[in-house]
Amino acid sequence: MAGIYVHVPFCISRCSYCDFYSTLSDDETRDAFLRALLKEIQSTGYEEPIDSIYLGGGTPSLLSPGDIEVILDALAHAFKIKDDAEITIEANPATFDRVKLRAFRSQGINRLSLGIQSLKDSELRLLGRIHTAEDAIDAINMVSEVFDNYSLDIIYGIPCQDKSGLDHTLRGILTFSPPHISAYELEYHENTLLHKDLIQGRITPPGDPDVSGLYIHLCDVLSERNYVHYEISNFSLEGFHCRHNLNYWLRGDYIGFGPSAHSLIGDRRYSNIADIKEYIDRVERTGSAVEKTILLTERDRIEEELMLGLRTSRGVDRTRFASDEPVLGALERDGLIHKNPERIILTPKGMLVSNAIIVELLERL
C-alpha cells in the first residue's frame, strides 16, 4: 500500500491543546499556498499505485469545494490513484454545510473525519473549540446523511472529566452508530495554551489512574457495541478501519505535501519545513520544501516495526523474541499482552503502558 497526505494548515483559531502546525488564513496566503502545493505535487515522482489520500490539517474543510477539486485533480494527474482509493478529508463542526459536503462527495471524497472532541460545552470551552455541543450534533447529522464512511474524533482525560462526562459524549455519538471512532488522550504539549494553563496552575489534569480508568471504560463500552479495537486510539465497525492510517502503522510508503508534512519512501523519511511563508518560498524556488531527510538503518526499521506494530491489533512477530519467553510470560500474566503461536498483541491494559513495554522489548532485540 502507499498513501498521500496533504497538510492544509489553515484554522479559524487555534485549539488550546493542538501542537500541529497551523496558521490563520487570508485570501492571498491561501492562493499562494495552493499554487505552491500544486507545484510541489507536480515536482514529485512516485510510480507505485496510491491506495489512500488524506487531506488533514489544520482544517481542510475551510477550503472551498473548488480548491479541493483542484488539489484532487493535481494528485490524479501526478500519481496512479487506485479506482477504489480511500479519500478522506478532515473537518470541524461549523466549517461546512450540506451543500459543501455534497460537493466534496461528488469530487470523489468518500470518507470524512469529524473533530467532535466532546459533547459537553464546558469541556469544549476548555479545549478552545469554536463549536458547541449542539453544533457538533448538527454536524454529525449532516455528515451521516452524506457519507457512509466517516469517523468521529473524541478526547478523554480532560480536566474535571469523570466517567459520567465521558459517557455523556459516548452516548451522544453512539446514537449515530458511526462507522469509526478515534479516541485520544488529552496531552499537554509544550508551546500550547493548555500547557501554559497547566504550568501556571489554572487547570489540574486527572491522575494516571483516573485516565487509565476512562480508557478501559471507553474500550469496554465500544467493545459492547461491536467496535473493533484495531489500534491504540482507533475503533471501527467491521470493514471500516482507516486504510490510510493503517498504512502508517504497517510502515507502507506515504508521500506528504504541505508545510510540516512528513513522508516515508523506502528507507528514507522526509519532513517539510513547518512555516507557511518558508514553505511557499522554497517550493516556488526549487519545487520542494523538504527540510530534513533521514536514511534509516536496518536497526531503525526493525525498531519502527516494533513500535508501530504494537500499536495495532495485528501486533508483532513473536519469533523475534523466541529467546525471551520468560519476559513474555510475565507480561501475559500481568494482563498486558496476548500471545498466539505467531504474534504478540497488546491488551487494552497493555496499551496504557505501551511505551514501557516497547522499551523493554527493544532492549531485547
CATH code for the part of the protein at 299-362: 1.10.10.920
Q: What's the one-letter identity of residue 102?
A: R
DSSP H or E run through 346: strand 343-346
Q: Which three cell numbers stand for residue 44?
A: 514529485
Rounded to the nearest angstrom, the gap between the alpha carbon of residue 95 and the centroid of all alpha carbons in its chain is 19
DSSP-derived letter for residue 191 is T
Mean pLDDT, rounded, for 154-181: 96
Residue 113: count other Cβ atoms within 10 Å of its Cβ: 24
Contact call for residues 50 and 254 (beta carbons, < 8 A): no
| Mean pLDDT confidence for 23-27 | 84
Give dist(CA 103, CA 100) in Å, integer: 5
| Over residues 340-357, mean pLDDT | 88
Cα end-to-end span (Å), the chain: 27
In the predicted model, what is the mean pLDDT of residues 322-351? 86
Predicted pLDDT of residue 323: 66
pTM to 2 decimals? 0.94
Please state the domain extents for the chain: 2-248, 299-362
Query: Is the pLDDT at 365 greater than 80, yes or no?
Result: no
Model pLDDT for residues 198-256, shown as the tens digit of each residue? 899 899 888 989 999 999 999 999 999 999 999 999 999 999 999 999 999 999 999 99
Quick one: DSSP state of residue 23?
B
Angstrom distance (rounded) from CA 311 to CA 160: 28
- Is the separation of the CB atoms in 208 and 214 below 8 Å? no
Contact partners, residue 2, CB within 8 Å, separation at least 6 = 46, 48, 49, 50, 51, 247, 252, 253, 254, 255
Is 329:319 a contact under the CB 8 Å cutoff? no
Mean pLDDT (the chain) is 93
- Answer whether 2-248 and 299-362 agree in fold: no
pLDDT, residue 265, reads 96
How far is residue 90 from each of residues 41, 150, 165, 312, measured CA to CA in Å?
20, 10, 25, 22
pLDDT at 280 over 80: yes
Cα gap 56→74, rounded to integer Å: 17
285 Cβ contact partners less than 8 Å away, ≥ 6 residues apart: none
Determine the average pLDDT of the residues in 37-54. 95
pLDDT computed for residue 69 by the predictor = 97
Find, among 96, 28, 32, the residue nearest to 60 by Cα: 96
pLDDT at 45: 87
Cis peptide before 58 (omega within 30 of 0): yes
- pLDDT for residue 322 is more than 70: no
The Cα–Cα gap between 259 and 72 comes to 18
Which of 306, 281, 323, 294 is CA-nearest to residue 358? Answer: 306
DSSP 309-324: HTTBTT-EEGGGGGGG
In sequence order, which residues have a C-beta less than 8 Å from that of residue 14 and are 6 or more positions away?
A: 22, 128, 193
Length of the chain: 365
Tell me: pLDDT of 364 over 80. no
Query: What pLDDT, on a 0 to 100 scale, did the predictor assign at position 360?
Result: 83
Closest CA to 364 of 344, 342, 340: 344
Top CATH class of 2-248 equals alpha beta
